[in-house]
Chains A and B, each alone.
Chain A
């Protein structure tokens, strides 16, 4: 049986050359000291960003109309969360990778009914206030068709929404209890009570901020602040962080795909970009087995630079 031929991109030649002294412990210690000093220097010179988290209270006080419009959107189903699909609800089939609806197949595992979770349930936790009790009773006892009519009428008037004397005003009729509900929710938000109501909906202890984060992200206030910090998706998005810091620079390729066709105009961009990155990661992982790809190092000869002393000596 003849020996297997030498495959230069798979096999390594046996090294029979010289050996040099090598103190691995000393090397590790020096590296730790140098890196430690470098990190201390960088931390001292540049610090780290810590922009305070925004609250629903801050949002509703800074822009009550945006807040009220978003609350209305949670009732009429027009917000991002209300129309999201899995894992929050079934309002949309969600993104597709060709024929694959991965999110839909995974199912609704974090159920969110925006009308109830973001508006009706928080309002139901407000004690006293006969007008609100009456409005909620009217809402809860109304037939779906009746609610839909109220919401539709109120939504039509919403573009002319104003904020004056601590009240949201919408020029619309036949809107049932909606003016009371939207105004009470806005007042609740401006007092800070809605922040608490959304977080503690699951009980006294919680570490889950899914609901308040989804609600805040449904408005335009969070995005407007992010835009000022150059954090929007079109500004290379989530790989950045506030201030002049490197952020997650290693995500540059992931973020890059969102900037170029066909991804930047695709309604299924997220799943397509993820699929692309999974494929590229798999390629990187399996380089040793992929003919052509595994030959690149030998062909481009960067190794001559790395081992220049070795080649000079031999």
Chain B
């Protein structure tokens, strides 16, 4: 096989493209621009840490099934971990989102980074919602019977039935977490590729 032929392989071309876009020093950097020195930057990594706790506690809840936590004190505690992980996750994510808005973090070719963050937020709202209606308790009864009207009114209720526990549970533990985690990974990789957005340049009049 000639070198040219190897160079034309999909695998070779993908590897070169990935290595070019995301060399190891970008993926796992050991320095960063000096302007990255504000508490607001903490909320990005906090969001990821909280997401890890959400997934870990969700894994544990999954082991014994969706009703275990009603009858076990350990299960109830794990459910509490799951709930508070979600609360911390959303708090950190929303602060992160608004922080990035006020930095205009889409500048410099970072629009896809911004959009992946927004879509991750929306997917997470869906993931949390399907969790609330899958609790198999009074909250899930009330929330699902109330929420059905909004979803039905859009026509989405014809395929997304919030009163169908099995469907909601599958969305909650398979589909939406997968989407949220993949989008989060994409978002982080884009941040690594493009770097953290620099401050507005006030000296050149870039910021009026």
Contact = CB atoms under 8 A, between A and B. Distances in A.
A193 interface: no
A54 B138 contact: yes
Interface string B78-118: 01111111011010001000010111101111110011001
A241 B36 CA distance: 38
Given A50-B76, A87-B152, A107 B137 contact: no
A306 B153 CA distance: 42
Nearest to B40: A306
A28 B49 contact: yes
Interface in B21-80: 28-38, 40, 42, 45-46, 48-50, 52-53, 57, 69-70, 76-77, 79-80
A167 to B, nearest CB: 29
A294 B152 contact: no
Contact of A233 (B38, B110, B146, B156): B146
Interface in B192-208: 197-204, 206-208
Interface string B145-177: 111011111111111010111110100000000
Contacts of A39: 50, 53, 57, 81, 84-85, 88
B162 to A, nearest CB: 9
B119 interface: yes
Contacts of A1: none
A86 B35 CA distance: 55
A19 B153 contact: no
A17 B35 contact: yes
B157 A13 contact: no
Given A20-B37, A294-B106, A43 B138 contact: no
A248 B128 contact: yes
Contacts of A142: none
Nearest to B97: A284
Interface in A167-194: none
A146 B146 CA distance: 35
A128 interface: no
Interface range on chain B (Cβ under 8 Å from partner): 35 or more
Contacts of A8: 107, 200-201, 206-208
A138 interface: no
Nearest to B119: A285
A52 interface: yes
A114 to B, nearest CB: 14
A106 B157 contact: yes
A43 B87 CA distance: 11
A204 interface: no
B119 to A, nearest CB: 7
Interface range on chain A (Cβ under 8 Å from partner): 35 or more
B46 A31 contact: yes
B143 to A, nearest CB: 5
B143 A21 contact: no
Contacts of A249: 87, 90
B184 interface: no
A213 interface: yes
Given A208-B163, A310-B37, 16 more contacts: A9-B104, A12-B108, A12-B109, A28-B45, A38-B84, A50-B137, A105-B155, A207-B164, A208-B161, A209-B163, A213-B145, A245-B83, A250-B94, A271-B154, A288-B106, A310-B199
30 contacts: A10-B106, A13-B199, A13-B201, A13-B206, A15-B35, A17-B35, A31-B42, A31-B45, A40-B81, A48-B80, A50-B70, A50-B79, A51-B137, A52-B70, A53-B136, A53-B140, A86-B152, A86-B157, A207-B165, A207-B166, A209-B163, A213-B141, A229-B138, A242-B139, A268-B153, A271-B150, A297-B103, A306-B40, A307-B103, A309-B37
Interface of B: 28-38, 40, 42, 45-46, 48-50, 52-53, 57, 69-70, 76-77, 79-85, 87-88, 90, 94, 99, 101-104, 106-111, 114-115, 118-119, 122, 125, 128-129, 132, 135-147, 149-159, 161, 163-167, 169, 197-204, 206-208
